[in-house]
Amino acid sequence: MSYEFDKVYHYDLSNWISIDGWNEKETNALMDDGRFASHILERQIPKWFPTLDHITGCKDHDHIDSTNSLRFDAKNLTKNGCKFMPSSMLGAGRRFNQDVFLEKAKTLNYIICDIADFPSVRLIIKRGSELASDFPKGSISKVKGRRLLFS
């Protein structure tokens, strides 16, 4: 299946992950954590959208479209929201630079996975410039973000 920008995709990932000796509630709890889920979903996305290739390692993007070289960065919207600013602006002692953020957003597209209700996952692909226009601080709140992106 090819992807469309601004289209909301729905996936039911019930019983999707199995860990020996763990029940579904325990494995689903892992997927509520964006740090854990990102490693798995980044590799799943090309299975849903075969023109996207996963880029391994710490690059400024997670996927590239093999047909047109568009770059995509995958982000998870969790119970704490979603930050899509460059990682150099995240963490203790780091500062948000809006000019750098906006320039970077112009060069990327974003795949936002709403995992807050895992195993129900919603996904939307947005152009970076549009996402930055809607969320100029590079941060999407769970409530407002979900309403704006997924309704």
* Domain coordinates in residue numbering, the chain: 8-145
Q: How far apart are CA 102 and CA 136, in angstroms?
A: 8
Please give the class, per CATH, of domain 8-145: alpha beta
Q: Is the pLDDT confidence value at 49 over 60? A: yes
For a pLDDT cut of 70, what percent of the chain falls above it?
93
Q: Is the pLDDT confidence value at 40 over 90? A: yes
Q: What is the pLDDT of residues 130-143, one digit of tens each?
A: 999 999 989 999 89
Q: Check residue 3 and give its pLDDT.
A: 97
Task: Show the tokens assigned to 87.
Answer: 């990682």
For a pLDDT cut of 90, what percent of the chain falls above it?
64
Q: Check residue 92 and give its pLDDT.
A: 46
Instruction: Assign 68 a pLDDT band (cuts: 50, 70, 90).
Output: very high
Q: What average pLDDT score do residues 56-64 get?
A: 86
Q: Is the pLDDT confidence value at 126 over 70? A: yes
For residue 41, the surrounding DSSP H or E stretch is helix 34-48
Q: Check residue 42 and give its pLDDT.
A: 96
